Amino acid sequence: MPASSLLSTGGAPAPGAPPDIRQWNGSAVVNATACGQALGIPTVAMMFLTVDEVFHEPTWRLWYQHAADLVPASSVVCNGTAVNATCDCDRARLAGLRELCRPQDKAPVLQRQHLFNVYIHSRPEYAFPEDSIFFGREIAERSKVEWGTHQLVDATKALLRAALRQPLNQKFILLSESHIPLYSPMLVYQQLMSEPTSRLDSWGLQPTDLRRWTQRLVHNDFNHGSWRKSSQWFALRRDHAQAVVQDTVLNDKFAEHCKNGFDSELNRWRDCFSDEHYIPSLIAYLQRGHETDGFGRLVHVVWENWDVHPKSFSPKEVTLQTFRQMRGDGAPCHTHQVDIREVKRMFVPAKRITPATCQRAAPSYNQTLRPQCPLLARKFPRDTVMPLFKLVRDCSNGLAIVNDGSCRKILGMRGRQLLGSPRPSAQEVRRWQEHRHLQNGR
């Protein structure tokens, strides 16, 4: 989409104007920044399916803050293929772009970064408080959701519909309130954007659990040959997300016949869960399974003793060793070899865009991680919030999730050297103090 078109339709505030949270609320949620629109930056839609609050907001706050002001280098170079607002490298135009993209210290955390758009489906009566980074990110189309029912698919499709309204969203990932990031926002973004497939198993390479199948699901050419099973927590390409929201026929079939309960026709219990089968089976039915990675491992989870729920990590298990295990030491992930500088090279601070920036060759990304390697993890309940926050903000352990892995001292509030960010606002100081009091048990 041409940048001029993006600028004319985005409804972005004028440079320097305070952001209006109302334009992000309810059905109007599109989550594009004026800078992102001007450059046509492809974005990742992060769709949180929650009951109410997102447990690890302190960590997510630092994570999004770590990406503040950064734009993909590929969006500001003139390599003959990109269409953006800087291709003539005109100094006046670049100056205008820098003004449009300059950091807004008073803007909400999510509006200071240009890589991710956030959408939340919580219970209809829940609203995030105004001091939350997720305030105003609830979608309008919310409904009651019960575990193990097709309502999970209904909520997922509502999130996809909301996120698809933003044309810049190119990858769509589903998360819960207990998810945590395993890598920095730059690595997660670059990895997802470099992958041509969806993180989903519509190949049928993993066990499909045919005991959950019933002939009542048959429709035209859809039969057990298209039956698939994959993780509920996916990363979808835009065209796959569109296919999911456009389908009604298979959706109705699954809503009626994929249930967790006693099946009188089979005379046995049939624990069919739509959230694990509907989307991968739909993509397979559309004969597009080859467009998925065959793993569906966006998220690291631990299953124990054939339980229907994954393992919940305890506070004592929030350790550096646990993170290394979740990332997957050794082949094919080689996470210990991930070069943070290699990923940082793919981004430039928007305020530093110059003629030299847009005239250089577009950097190439040496895709270190493979689709088998998770980028997120769960299940981390409420009692792990502070241990996790303390671990990820530590600049000396090499995780480099919310910092660049180096301990730089920055004058000001205790601990700000771990964030590598500008002087905090009064609101951030207050929130930090609240977290510190919780950590000290006061």
pTM over 0.95: no
Residue 264 is encoded by which pair of tokens?
């009188």
Would residue 221 count as lying in a domain?
no
In sequence order, which ranges of 104-246 are alpha helices (DSSP H)? Answer: 151-164, 185-194, 238-246
Would residue 248 count as lying in a domain?
no
Between CA 203 and CA 158 the distance in angstroms is: 25
Residue 100 — very low, low, confident or very high, per pLDDT cuts 50/70/90?
A: confident
pLDDT tens-digit series, residues 266-307: 778 788 999 999 999 999 999 999 999 999 999 999 987 777
Q: What pLDDT shows up at residue 311? A: 92
* Distances, alpha carbon 93 to alpha carbons 114, 209, 352, in Å: 19, 57, 13
Would residue 55 count as lying in a domain?
yes
Would residue 239 count as lying in a domain?
no
Asked if residue 332 has a cis previous peptide bond (ω within 30° of 0), the answer is yes
Between CA 37 and CA 423 the distance in angstroms is: 27
Q: What angle do CA 292, 368, 203 make, to 5 degrees?
A: 15
Residue 130 is encoded by which pair of tokens?
């105004």
State the amino acid at position 11 in one-letter form.
G
**Residues 6 or more apart in contact with residue 333 via CB below 8 angstroms:** 327, 369, 370, 372, 373
In sequence order, which ranges of 108-218 are alpha helices (DSSP H)? Answer: 151-164, 185-194
Q: What pLDDT shows up at residue 24? A: 39
Would residue 219 count as lying in a domain?
no
Range of the domain at 135: 3-14+24-199+297-439
Q: What pLDDT shows up at residue 23? A: 37
Residue 7 — very low, low, confident or very high, per pLDDT cuts 50/70/90?
A: very low
Q: Are 202 and 180 in contact (CB under 8 A)?
A: no
pLDDT tens-digit series, residues 47-62: 999 999 999 999 999 9
Would residue 108 count as lying in a domain?
yes
pLDDT tens-digit series, residues 154-208: 999 999 999 999 999 999 999 999 999 999 999 999 999 999 999 999 998 888 8
Residue 365 — very low, low, confident or very high, per pLDDT cuts 50/70/90?
A: confident
Does 406 score more than 60 pLDDT?
Answer: yes
Residue 144 is encoded by which pair of tokens?
């009651």
Sign of CA dihedral 31, 33, 34, 39: negative
Q: Are 86 and 94 in contact (CB under 8 A)?
A: yes
Would residue 162 count as lying in a domain?
yes
The burial class, CB within 10 Å (0-12 / 13-18 / 19+), for 336 is exposed
Give the chain's domain count: 1
Would residue 211 count as lying in a domain?
no
The burial class, CB within 10 Å (0-12 / 13-18 / 19+), for 39 is buried
